[in-house]
Amino acid sequence: MLTGFFAPTTGHARVAGFDAAEQALALRRMIGYLPENVVLYPDMRVGNFLTFCAQLRRMPVARRTERLASTIRDCGLQEVTERLIGTLSKGYRQRVGLAQAMLHDPEVLILDEPTVGLDPRQIVEIRDLIRGLRGRTTVLLSTHILAEVSMTCDRVVIIDRGRVVAEDSADALSRRTQGSDQTLVRVDGPADAVHTALCNLPDVQEVIRTATTAGEDGYTFVIRTTAGESARKAVAAAVVGHGWGLLEVRPVAPSLEDLFLRLVPHEDTGTAH
């Protein structure tokens, strides 16, 4: 609906001041769009395809030349401009799709699952490319890969069944949604006894034993409390007081996956942006 492809059944959506349904053509001049399954012409060369996209947008020749050069450079396509799109890797095809979306220097860039299907190296490259747009344009990133949100986005919106259930920065959402503080502690001592001792501390809401990284000594626990730094001091004092080895104690922030599961308890009904 925000890109003008579908009209809302009720209500209105505005992007860059334009009504998405009533001013769809004017809106499309202001936005760039990378769909999840980007459609490219496999028999066209990269440079020719981007030139064709610029012509479709009726860009003046002088501006077209400058934007083609800068976009190809920003998207790292210099080495493949003469290659047929059909011969490119998935990562490069995604770069071409992103290039056509940002070619006209849009005010708003809408990206739908931009890293889906990419290998780890390609994901890092596309993520860095998106982050490089910060300050130049507004980027709306829609994804179910929540790690991408925390590594890329300044602001998070969680939608469940078409309704916004949370909106804030990732850090602020963590503080507001969790309603508590989390501490990781690694102890060289009997696991069951350590767990019991930690559970009996004041202000402790929950103690979870987690997997210890290979090669590390002791047992690792995550403790949810309402006391913050004072709780960490109490944890350290309790471990030392029992004569166990205190190997590590530090605060940990809940992940976006944790927040999502707390806000959207049922499966397969939410999308994070």
Does the pLDDT at position 271 exceed 70?
Answer: no
pLDDT at 211: 75
pLDDT at 179: 54
Asked if residue 222 lies in contact with residue 208, where contact means CB atoms within 8 angstroms, the answer is yes
Domains and CATH numbers, the chain: 14-142 (3.40.50.300), 176-254 (3.30.70.920)
pLDDT band at 180 (very low <50, low <70, confident <90, very high): low
DSSP letter string, 18-79: EETTTTHHHHHHHEEEE-SS----TTSBHHHHHHHHHHHTT--HHHHHHHHHHHHHHTT-GG
Mean pLDDT of 41-47: 96
pLDDT at 3: 87
Which element (helix H / strand E) includes 196?
Answer: helix 191-199
First-to-last CA distance in the chain?
A: 15
pLDDT at 175: 62
pLDDT at 43: 96
Per-residue pLDDT tens digits for 12-34: 888 888 998 889 888 988 999 99
Does the pLDDT at position 270 exceed 50?
Answer: no
Does the pLDDT at position 97 exceed 90?
Answer: yes
pLDDT at 266: 60
**Segment of 114-123, 174-183, 211-220 carrying the highest mean pLDDT:** 114-123
**Segment of 96-105, 180-189, 213-222 carrying the highest mean pLDDT:** 96-105
pLDDT at 103: 94
pLDDT at 49: 97
pLDDT at 87: 96
As given in the structure block, the two tokens for residue 96 are 């071409």
Does the pLDDT at position 131 exceed 50?
Answer: yes
pLDDT band at 140 (very low <50, low <70, confident <90, very high): very high
- Computed over every residue of the chain, the mean pLDDT equals 86
Taking each helix axis from N to C terminus, what angle separates 170-178 and 256-263, rounded to the nearest 10 degrees? 50
As given in the structure block, the two tokens for residue 192 are 């069951």
Does the pLDDT at position 129 exceed 60?
Answer: yes
pLDDT at 269: 44
Mean pLDDT of 147-169: 84
pLDDT at 244: 95
